[in-house]
Amino acid sequence: MDSPHRFIRALRRQPVDTTPVWIMRQAGRYLPEYRATRAEAGDFLTLCKTPELACEVTMQPLRRFELDAAILFSDILTIPDAMGLGLSLVEKQGPRFDRPVRDLSAIQALGVPDPEDDLGYVMDAVRLIRKTLDGRTPLIGFAGSPWTLACYMVEGQGSRDFARIKTLAYDRPDAMAHLLDILVESITLYLNAQIAAGAQAVQIFDTWGGSLSYDAYRRWSLEPMQRIVAGLDRGPEDAPVILFTKGGAPWLEQIADAGADALGLDWCCDPADARRRVGHRVALQGNLDPGILRADNHVIEREVARTLDAFGPQPGHVFNLGHGITPDIRPDAVAKLVNAVHGHPFESA
């Protein structure tokens, strides 16, 4: 299917006029207008759950920068929140759940949220953003991966060693499998609802997959994501799917065979090696180190050029950071990055 958007075309490994670029967490605290809107909302969850405000912050970076995609402003923990686990966000500490699930009985008590009922505010935001974009820029929807959501649900918060969930996985693989089954069904329904509401591409964020051993990753992270991809209804616009595992370099070939259209790379992965390993079976997305945006403008331009050259000629590359932009970054550094990507001498295969 043809698309007028270079972002969608690149994900499909079709010819583009220049490399498209968007940025993970492109709507965030580095923008003063975002901080003002968040202050108006009162807290982060209210910002996420108010469609008009979620639409506003989604649009903010597009007003500043010539980005090639918008991404829905939401959070990966909307699904476990809708399951009744009592999500709160503690300043400078991150997300916490009042009622983590740590045994089979707690897991069996979980229900699958209805996307249009329990998570209707997300679908309302998608519809409003799509209407506001008015065809100018494509919209990305997203969800956290089953393993990543399970980490928060079992640990009750972020973790450095993932002791509780790894203990559950190794001691009670039946309970772990049941939790992942519930999450696979929930995430599949959630992403299908986003696509039906207007998302033109979707990304699965596997933030904590890289914490697993080589074999455990394939069992507990990749296989559930593969089931989600297989269960997606891509809709009339045939929405492409991106899989992003932070720390996923050891499994690039397996991720490339999981059925998605594109594979996201973090900044620890060599782009040339990634291209050599997966060929052109999928598009590649990434992978500038977000810390480079703290450097001088000439360094940003140099590293953008180095990254683009390493990925090689199009088709099949979307420029992005290797993870989310951090709150301390200057907006003018982001402008320099976007302009450097679009201004780089373009080569098509």
pLDDT of amino acid 1: 66
25: left (phi over 0), alpha (psi -120 to 50) or beta: left
Q: What is the pLDDT of residue 160?
A: 82
Q: Bridge-partner residues for 141, per DSSP?
A: 202
- Binding-site positions for substrate read 25-29, 75, 152, 207, 323
Q: Which residues sit in the known binding site?
A: 25-29, 75, 152, 207, 323
pLDDT of residue 159: 79
Query: Using one digit for the tens of pLDDT, what is the confidence trace for 174-219?
Result: 999 999 999 999 999 999 999 999 999 999 999 999 999 999 999 9
Name residue 107's beta-bridge partners. none
Average pLDDT of adjacent 10-residue blocks, the chain of 349 residues: 91 96 96 97 95 98 98 97 92 87 96 98 98 98 98 90 94 97 98 98 97 96 98 96 97 97 97 94 97 97 96 92 96 98 82
pLDDT at 164: 96
Q: Return the pLDDT at 230.
A: 98
Q: Which residues contact 209 (CB under 8 A, 6 or more apart)?
A: 145, 147, 148, 217, 221, 222, 245, 246, 247, 248
Domain 6-343, what architecture?
Answer: Alpha-Beta Barrel (3.20)
Q: Which is it for the CA torsion 326, 330, 335, 341, positive or negative?
A: negative
In 84-145, which residue ranges form alpha helices assigned H by DSSP? 104-108, 120-133
Q: Tell me: the pLDDT tens digits for 55-67?
A: 999 999 999 999 9
pLDDT value of residue 127: 98
- The DSSP bridge partners found for residue 3 are none
Rounded distance between C-alpha atoms, residue 35 and residue 135, angstroms: 27
Per domain, the residue ranges of the chain are 6-343
Whether residue 315 has a cis bond before it, omega within 30° of 0: yes
Q: Write out the catalytic residue numbers.
A: 25, 29, 38, 75, 152
